[in-house]
Amino acid sequence: MSKQNTWLYTDTVKEHFINPKNLLEDEENYREDGRGMVGNIKCGDQMLVVIKVEDNIITDCKWKTYGCASAIASTSMLSEMVKGMSVDKAYTITPEDIVRELGSLPSHKIHCSVLGDRALRKAVEDYFERTGQVHKIKQEQVKVICQCMNVTDKDIAEAVKKGDRTYEELQFRTKLGTVCGQCKEQAEELLHQYIHMYT
């Protein structure tokens, strides 16, 4: 067989998959300053991120996941990226930032890396709450409608502006409601609202 690189992912992703960094091993004795858990098994993945913080600087970040190879690799990468970073900066990390560090991910896999940054954001918010910095928590300007595919009300509004008029078109563009389907009713309601607002 050819020895060429036929791996599904980039070398960086593969390396993080084979040797994941900063795995949370001794959960019971880990004294975290912030903790965030997102996702659910129904959708196929779940992510836990914990952080230690000194003077608003992240000194340690550990994680666990029930997730696929790119969930493992992207969170491993994220845990390396944030060490030594201020909590304020960590709070703004986007999926694109993680994907950039990894080289790339297959497009249908980007959903997985989104979990890591969301779990981190929740961990940072937890830290803000514990340390009396609640004012730093940004009121969620967006609301996640489809938990499985991480599609927000803002994404739905954007889709309507781009011309989507039916639930099927919305599903096709955003992948909303393509996993567990629980959000269908809420999504349809928003769809009609936005169609009224923008057309």
Partner 1 sequence: MSKRQVYLDYNATTPLHPEVKKALHAALDLYANPSSMHEFGRSVRNRLEHVRQAIADFIGAKPEEIIYTAGGSESNNTVLKIISCARCGGLDFGQGRNEIITTSIEHPSIIQTAQHLESLGNTVHYLKVDKYGRVDVDHFLELISHRTALVSIMYANNEIGTVQDIKALTEIAHRYGAFFHTDAVQAVGKIPVNVAELDVDYLSFSAHKFYGPKGVGVLYVKKAKPYYALLHGGHQEGGRRAGTMNSLGIMGMGRAVELIRSEMEEIKQRLKNYKAKLRIEISKQIPDVTFNGHPEYNLENTLNVSFHGAEGEAILLYLDLEGIAVSTGSACSSGSLEPSHVLLATGVGPELAHGSIRFSLGRETTEDEIDYVLDKLPAVIAKVRKMSTVYSGECK
CB of 36 to partner 1, least distance (A): 12
Nearest to 27 by CA among 62, 72, 73: 62
67 or 160: CB nearest partner 1: 67
What residues line the site for partner 1 (CB under 8 A)? 1, 8, 17-18, 20, 23, 25, 37, 41-48, 64-69, 71-72, 106, 108-109, 111-112, 148-149, 175, 178-180
Active-site position among 112, 146, 148, 183: 112
How many Å is the maximal CA-CA distance in the chain? 59
Give one DSSP letter per residue of 79-91, joined into a string: HHHTTT-BHHHHT
**Enclosing H/E stretch for 187:** helix 184-198
87 or 177: CB nearest partner 1: 177
45 or 160: CB nearest partner 1: 45
Q: Is 124 in contact with 90 (CB distance < 8 Å)? A: yes
Q: What tokens appear for 67 in the block?
A: 């997730």
Q: Is 43 a catalytic residue?
A: yes
> Mind telling me the catalytic residues?
43, 112
